[in-house]
Structure 1
Amino acid sequence: MHLDTWLTAVPPLAIYLLCAVVVGVESVGVPLPGEIVLVGAALLATRPGPGIDPVALAGAATAGAVVGDSIGYSVGRRYGTALLDRLGRRFPRHLGPGHVAVARRVFERHGGWAVLFGRFVALLRILAGPLAGTMRMRYPAFLAANATGAVLWAGGTVAAVQLLGLVAETWLKRFSWVALVVAVVLGLLVSRQVRARLERAASDG
């Protein structure tokens, strides 16, 4: 079976659940590709056939993010720095001591804003919940920032993909692999730039 045929045969409910679960588990503190899954699902929603509702998709990602971050907050509040040390040993390339130190410094300096805007940065997206719990951030303030960031991130990502899909549908059909490579390269460059700025901010603080 052709890949396109298989993808269009996947039930929309399965797509919603997959997106919610992956985003949720990532938000707990496990480095999974939540943003990639969300973008991929949003791309499917731009194509005829699957019947994926963009609003429902954004809602599923938002719910996964809020629930996952809340679980991460609870676990971080209970187990504290021991949890972060364990995550660092388990995923040294993603959550090593240096990464945790940078994220902690950002939290100390920006508080709730780090939770809200951290949803758009891979490192903070993974560590926001556990770090907020470890640092005894008030849960109502955390939940408000977490929910706001989740809505903006999920809704904005799906809306952006929908807009780009409608505007560039013909171009993407002809140059899909080129577009994919360009998007990945740009994503990596932006990610490296953001990480470098976070590290400089941490060292300057």
Structure 2
Amino acid sequence: MHVQEWLETVPAVSIYALVGLVIGVESLGIPLPGEIILVSSALLASQHGDIDPVVLGACATAGAIIGDSIGYAIGRKGGRPLLAWLGDRFPRHFSEGHVATAERSFRKWGMWAVFFGRFVALLRIFAGPLAGVLRMPYWKFLIANVLGGIVWAGGTTAVVYYVGVVAESWLKRFSWLGLVVAVLLGAASMLIVRRKARKAQDEKPAAAEPVPAAE
């Protein structure tokens, strides 16, 4: 079953909680499809009025910020052994190559790596724990974390929601336009057929008249 189809069977309150939980756990450092859940939920909100996009965006933002903060605390306490443990549990995401790439980004960009890491799937998982492991000052991490969470979660929700609303509106207009075109084509086809039939009927008597004999 597709994610959005499954979400349609879930009450709105559960969707808010699910979005916040999944994004929070992903931000904590556990690979989960947070972005897929958020996009699917925002698209569903554009089609069903019982899901409030503002509440949805707020839950996603809260999950992102809280999850990253918990990940930072775990990374700061666990240190590099934590990255090794994550590498054993999730080798696809926390391989030595991925960790090294993320670490270079953090050392080079600092707060910006936390902020823009929100928009990159791999860095989104790394951001909190790795910032803690590298001992980034918490106030710097917090500023980048809050701003990144608001822009990413709130922005994604808003963009997907309004795109869904516009798309549904255009599809409705297209369906009405298609109906009008179909009716016009049907009427035109009927007129053409009737005209040809009348023309053929008029030609029959002329063909049936006897040709006068030559004197």
Equivalent residues in 2 for 1:101-180, closer than 5 Å: 101-169=100-168
Separation in structure 1 between the aligned mates of residue 89 and residue 12 of structure 2, nearest angstrom: 33
**2:148 & 2:117 partners in 1: Cα distance?**
8
Task: Determine the structure 2 residue equivalent to 1:96.
Answer: 95
Rounded to whole Å, the distance in 2 between the matches of 1:4 and 1:163 is 17
Question: For structure 2, which runs of at least 5 residues remain unmatched after alignment?
Answer: 173-215
Structure-1 residue corresponding to 2:43: 43
Partner-residue secondary structure (3-state), 2:92: helix
Runs of 4+ in 1 over 6 A off after TM superposition: 3-6
Alignment correspondent of 2:193: none
Deviation at 1:8, TM superposition (A): 3.9
1:21–1:139 Cα change, 3 Å: same
Q: Which amino acid aligns with 1:39?
A: V
Letter aligned with residue 14 of structure 2 = A
1:139-168 per-position Cα deviation (integer Å, ceiling 9, x unaligned): 111011000000000111111111211221
Q: Does 1:13 align with 2:9?
A: no
How far off is 1:171 after superposition? Answer: 6.5
Identity %: 61
How much has 1:9 moved relative to structure 2? 4.7
**Alpha-carbon distance between aligned partners in 1 of 2:118 and 2:94, rounded to the nearest angstrom:** 16
TM-score (norm 1): 0.78
Q: Distance in 2 between matches of 1:4 and 1:104?
A: 35
Matches within 5 A, 1:6-85: 7-49=7-49, 51-85=50-84
* C-alpha distance in structure 1 between counterparts of 2:40 and 2:48, whole Å: 15
Q: Which has the larger radius of gyration?
A: 2
Q: Tell me, in whole angstroms, the C-alpha distance in 1 between the residues paired with 2:109 and 2:18.
A: 32
What's the offset of the Cα at 1:169? 1.6
Distance in 2, Cα, partners of 1:18 & 1:95: 25
Cα displacement (A) at 1:10 = 2.3
**Shift in Å at residue 13 of structure 1?**
1.1
Alignment RMSD (CA, Å): 1.9
Encode CA deviations 1:119-153: one digit per residue, 9 max, x unaligned: 00011100100011001111111011000000000
